[in-house]
Amino acid sequence: MLVVRTAYKCRAYPAPEQASVLNRTFGCVRVVWNRTLAWRHQRYYGEHVKTGFTQANAFLTAMKATEELAWLNEVSSVPLQQAIRHQQVAYTNFFAKRARYPRFKSRNGRQAAEYTRSGFRYRDGALWLAKMDTPLEFVWSWPDIDPAAIEPTTVTVSRDPCGRWYVSFAVEVAGPEQLPATGRAAGVDLGIKDFAVTSDGEKIANPQKLARRGQALARYQRRLARCQKGSANRAKAKAKVARAHRKVRASRADFLHRASTRLVRGHDVIVVEDLNVAGMVRNRSLAKSITDCGWGTFRQMLEYKAAKAGRHLTVVDRWYPSSKTCSVCGHLLASLSLSTRTWQCPSCGTRHDRDINAAKSILAAGLAVAGGNPGDACGADVRRHGTPRPRSAVKQEPQPVRAGIPVLQGGE
């Protein structure tokens, strides 16, 4: 049986004594992370010595033995050790070129502490953390899942800059049942005016979450700028700014979840472009709008949801000229300005909507990897003729498409 790792994040409501313990824990985790990071940085660039997890863990023990940092012993040692492990993973991802160099933690950002099995006790839906005598109160948000039946492997307690508390339970559960085949495939062209345009002609409007709340957010930030540093009013103004950002972030995440889920449920094969978002945001005129779209998060959602549902996601190479390629005859235009929203193919005479044509061309390029048949894409749970449905495919890496200029057959 396939076992997957998932997490359930809930709102938490710690008592004043519990909040005090957690705040001290957050501070200790932050100090351990920052001091260890500075020590590793100095060893590497000053002494040309690499630091592994064993040396970093010994450095933590040495810090706790000093008089200056003796207060590190007042909190549970589990979150401190987890901070060292997370930093080691961050360095591993950096050297593997999967992430940027680890950064120092700030007291003004999100605070979190992770507890392993030795740092918490979970029984009958009640959670006791280390250094606490009473269970931590939280609200369970999944009515179809019994909280008393889960067996969390780790528990992460966090606090947003706006003051909200959360608790996240990491659980190993049986893999979900794969969705039945639909026999449909879709190419998706992402944009700013329309968030996404599919090869079926559907246009998903861009909600522009940040732009809608931009005036209120700017007003809160002006109030914050006028407050004196260190004052109580500044702390209140900072919380209002954080709450405004949280509302934008939550609204955007809700929209991306709904859009990605609808695409995964309705199609066996989904083809998207490999957009260079990091390079696109360097355009000062469009950086704010591109960041508000959340294209990178949308693609991540498509990847893990497609893997769970037995769908297949194909990623087309970023240099593929989807907008300039006629989806009917394959003719490639020499140039096409961004302001041109419709154009007529000089070869076959077909008049195209720029975005819909791009989505169809993206779909054709993705299907070229599977031989052009949506039902034969990668052998996952898709509909075939004359033969029983094959066994479900496991998660596969997105395949870049660098073929020529494929054309949808039959004018699809």
Please give the pLDDT value at position 388.
37
Q: What is the pLDDT of residues 4-34, one digit of tens each?
A: 888 999 999 999 999 999 999 999 999 999 9
Looking at the annotation, which residues are catalytic? 189, 273, 355
Contact 279, 235 (CB under 8 A): no
Average pLDDT, the chain: 86
pLDDT tens-place string over residues 124-147: 999 999 999 999 999 999 998 999
Burial grade of 269 (CB within 10 A; 0-12, 13-18, 19 or more) = buried
Tell me the three-class secondary structure of 219-286, residue by residue.
HHHHHHHHCCCCCHHHHHHHHHHHHHHHHHHHHHHHHHHHHHHHHHHHCCEEEEECCCHHHHCCCCCC
Residue 271: count of CB within 10 angstroms of its CB: 31
- Give CB contacts under 8 A, 24+ apart, made by 378-382: 378/269, 378/312, 380/268, 380/310, 380/311, 380/312, 381/178, 381/179, 381/180, 381/181, 381/268, 381/310, 381/311, 382/181, 382/183, 382/268, 382/269, 382/312
Can you give the pLDDT at residue 371? 56
CB 105 within 8 A of CB 33: yes
In 10 A of CB 341, how many CB atoms? 11
Query: What pLDDT score does 324 carry?
Result: 87
Question: What integer pLDDT is reported at residue 147 of this predicted model?
Answer: 93
* 8 A C-beta contact, residue 374 and residue 268: yes
Contacts for 372 with CB less than 8 Å, ≥ 6 apart: 406, 409
Is residue 199 classed as helix, strand or coil in its secondary structure? coil
Q: Residue 120's closest CA among 149, 154, 151?
A: 154
Share of the chain above pLDDT 70, in %: 89
The rounded distance, in Å, linking the Cα atoms of 86 and 280 is 30
Specify the pLDDT at position 1: 57
Structure tokens at 174: 């049986």
Tell me if residue 33 falls in helix, strand or coil.
Answer: helix
CA dihedral for 386, 389, 394, 397, sign (positive or negative): positive
Q: Is the pLDDT of residue 153 over 50?
A: yes
Q: pLDDT grade, residue 354 (50/70/90)?
A: confident
pLDDT tens profile 38-61 = 999 999 988 889 899 999 999 999
